[in-house]
Structure 1
């Protein structure tokens, strides 16, 4: 059955906000959707290429304020990109990506046209932690470069991958970036204490990064990985340097996250650290 909505606001030729009896305000996107329409006109859901809700009032206000500063064709293109991301990830994206990615890509394209280069200090970590999001972000960058005739720095793939991960997991970019800063700090402590340089293309480095990320996630969730008393005695005796360093890392995580860390994390970190030390 065809659903009819009432237009509340024309944002531009391609985007309108309409009233729905159940969902209240709905954003409708489609080429020429707002052309020669006005407030109070009726419009069918079927006319839109994409519809989404912005339940958060702050995000809705940001989106409304953002659109006048962006080319209309770019808005339609970004929503084509979001459909591509959704299809590639095989899951629905949290609606906040409409605001975040629109804002980010508009600014990134503007930077690229002015040849302003920004590095991404967490690029290797992002690729290691979110390989699927990273590959999808590569596809997004390729499409943007071709359509907009710009060249993005490699770091842009990482930034877009974070937006995708945020939309898939419903985590805020602030929380994701906070955890990346913590992981970078932990890596610095490891390099300093073991007097080695961790090659970012090393498989053991990737395993360590993934383990630290999972340990932080477990701390956020309050999960335990169980006790291993016999293993603890062996590791403490055989690898005292790595065992003591693992405890140091756990203490840093506890202080930064202000959450308890399962003591069993020390054992698994010790194994990772010993493997790094051995291979170096």
Structure 2
């Protein structure tokens, strides 16, 4: 049975907000969907290529305010990119990415056209933490560069990867960035304490970053690793510098997250640190 909705607002030729019996306001996207339409007109649910909810009032307001400043063909293209991301990730994306990625790409394209480039200080860490999202973001960047005939800085891959990660995990970008900043702080403490410069393209560096990320996630979710008393005695005796530094890192994590961190994390961090120290 065909569902018929009532148009609440025409945002442009391709995007309308309509009233749904169950979900109330929904955003509908489709080629020519809003052409010659006005508030109060009927519209078939099946005519939309994509329909999504924006439950958050701030996000909805941001999306409504953003669209008049975007070329209409770009909205359709960003919709294509979102379908590509969903297909590549094999997961449904959280609806907030429609606002976040539309906003981000619009201004990134504008910056590229003006030859303005932002660097991304967390590029290596993002690649290490979210390898699948990073590869998909590479594909998005390639598609944008080919279609828009522009060149993005490499850091843009990292920014887009974060948006993708946020959309598949339903974590806010604020939390993701907060954890990345904490990891950077921990890495700086490691370099200073061990008097070494970590090679960011090194496999052991990637392992360390992934472990720190998992440790933060475990602390956030209140998960424990389990006791390893015998191993603790060995590591404490054999690698006192790395063992003591691992405890420092745990204390920093606890302070920043305002949550307890399982003490067993010290043992695994000690092993990672000793591997890096031995290599240097």
Calculate the TM-score normalised by the size of structure 2. 0.99
SS in 2 for 1:55: coil
Cα shift readout 1:20-63 (whole Å, capped 9, x = no counterpart): 10011110001111001111111111111111100111111110
Cα shift readout 1:63-116 (whole Å, capped 9, x = no counterpart): 001111111111111011000000000010000000000000000000000000
Could you tell me how far apart the structure 2 residues matched to 1:225 and 1:3 are?
Answer: 51
| Aligned pairs for 1:31-110 within 5 A | 31-110=31-110
Could you tell me how far apart the structure 1 residues matched to 2:219 and 2:67 are?
Answer: 39
- Determine whether 1:264 maps to 2:258: no
Could you tell me how far apart the structure 1 residues matched to 2:68 and 2:127 are?
Answer: 34
Could you tell me how far apart the structure 1 residues matched to 2:256 and 2:50 are?
Answer: 41
Moved over 6 A (4+): none
SS in 2 for 1:25: strand
Offset of 1:279 from its aligned partner? 1.2
- Gaps of at least 5 residues in structure 2 are none
Q: RMSD across aligned C-alpha pairs, in angstroms?
A: 0.6
| Aligned pairs for 1:17-28 within 5 A | 17-28=17-28
Cα shift readout 1:114-148 (whole Å, capped 9, x = no counterpart): 00011000000000000000000000000000111
> Which residue matches 2:181?
181
> Which residue matches 1:13?
13
> Which residue matches 1:190?
190
Could you tell me how far apart the structure 1 residues matched to 2:204 and 2:12 are?
Answer: 51
Offset of 1:2 from its aligned partner? 1.4
> Which residue matches 2:239?
239
SS in 1 for 2:46: helix
> Which residue matches 1:255?
255
- Number of equivalenced pairs: 280
> Which residue matches 2:225?
225
**Segment drifting more, 204-213 vs 29-38:** 29-38
Could you tell me how far apart the structure 2 residues matched to 1:139 and 1:249 are?
Answer: 36
Calculate the TM-score normalised by the size of structure 1. 0.99
- Gaps of at least 5 residues in structure 1 are none
SS in 2 for 1:186: helix
